[in-house]
């Protein structure tokens, strides 16, 4: 299993591109991002928050915010997708994931700011999650979403995921993808280097 250096998380940042070529930085969240991350979730539409958390919430409860802003092998990882907007680094998306080494599966959930949906950021972020999963040694990547979340289902389909029932909840659909990438073939340079190290 990949062992991350928690004293230097910036080395695991990646620069992606939106459909229009704008730079999108994906980096691990830090405790100092707590207020901005909370504001990001508050700014999502009620529908987007419902789709992300499978229920009606206006903001992250304090315990959940704490979990989102502190990363660890056991508790999982949160990344934010940011863009420079009017000279300020602004969160335009986020993803949370955890690697289950006993099953070699990589589970994730994500959201994109309503104003930036349709710009290719979600697709780029999902591709980046595949790199992260491959670096961890995962053989399968999966997530669950509501059956009514048409945009997430369409994104997963475009990204090559297969669909099935989510165990234990008829309201959810599980989308999954096999990972068949050798460490030296991981398409994101930072994660290829992390695996090699």
* pLDDT, tens only, 88-123: 999 999 999 999 999 999 999 999 999 999 999 999
CA distances from 61 to 10, 20, 48 (A): 27, 35, 17
Sheet bearing 162-165, strands edge to edge? 14-17, 23-28, 77-85, 88-100, 105-112, 140-146, 172-178, 162-165
Mean pLDDT of the chain: 92
Angle between helix axes 121-136 and 150-158 (nearest 10 degrees) is 60
Rounded distance between C-alpha atoms, residue 40 and residue 59, angstroms: 9
Q: Say whether 22 sits in a helix, a strand or coil.
A: coil
Instruction: Print the domain residue range for 55.
Output: 9-196
Residues 6+ apart with CB under 8 A from 103: 140
Q: Do strands 162-165 and 140-146 pair parallel, antiparallel, or not at all (unpaired)? A: unpaired
> For residue 155, is pLDDT > 90?
yes
> For residue 8, is pLDDT > 80?
no
Assess if residue 68 is contained within a domain: yes
Tell me the CATH number at 36: 3.40.630.30
Residues 11-61: pLDDT tens digits?
889 999 999 999 999 999 988 999 999 999 999 999 999 999 999 999 999
Question: Which pTM value belongs to this model?
Answer: 0.92
Q: How many domains does the chain have?
A: 1
Assess if residue 92 is contained within a domain: yes
Assess if residue 2 is contained within a domain: no
Q: Is 60 exposed, middle or buried (0-12, 13-18, 19+ CB in 10 A)?
A: buried
């Amino acid at each position: 299993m990949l062992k991350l250096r928690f004293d230097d998380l910036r080395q695991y940042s990646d620069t992606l591109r939106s459909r229009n070529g704008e730079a999108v930085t994906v980096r691990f969240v830090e405790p100092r991002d707590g207020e901005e991350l909370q504001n990001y979730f508050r700014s999502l539409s009620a529908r987007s928050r419902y789709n992300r958390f499978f229920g009606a919430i206006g903001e992250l409860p304090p315990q959940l915010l704490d979990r989102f802003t502190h990363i660890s092998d056991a508790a999982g990882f949160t990344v934010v997708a940011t863009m420079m907007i009017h000279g300020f680094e602004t969160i335009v998306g986020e993803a949370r994931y955890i690697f289950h080494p006993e099953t070699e599966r990589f589970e994730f959930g994500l959201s994109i700011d309503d104003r930036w949906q349709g710009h290719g950021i979600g697709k780029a972020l999902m591709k980046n999650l595949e790199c992260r999963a491959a670096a961890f040694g995962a053989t399968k990547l999966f997530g669950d979403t509501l059956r009514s979340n048409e945009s997430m289902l369409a994104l997963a389909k475009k990204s090559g995921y297969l669909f099935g029932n989510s165990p234990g909840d008829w309201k959810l659909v599980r989308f999954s993808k096999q990972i068949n990438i050798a460490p030296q073939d991981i398409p994101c340079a930072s994660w290829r280097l992390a695996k090699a190290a």
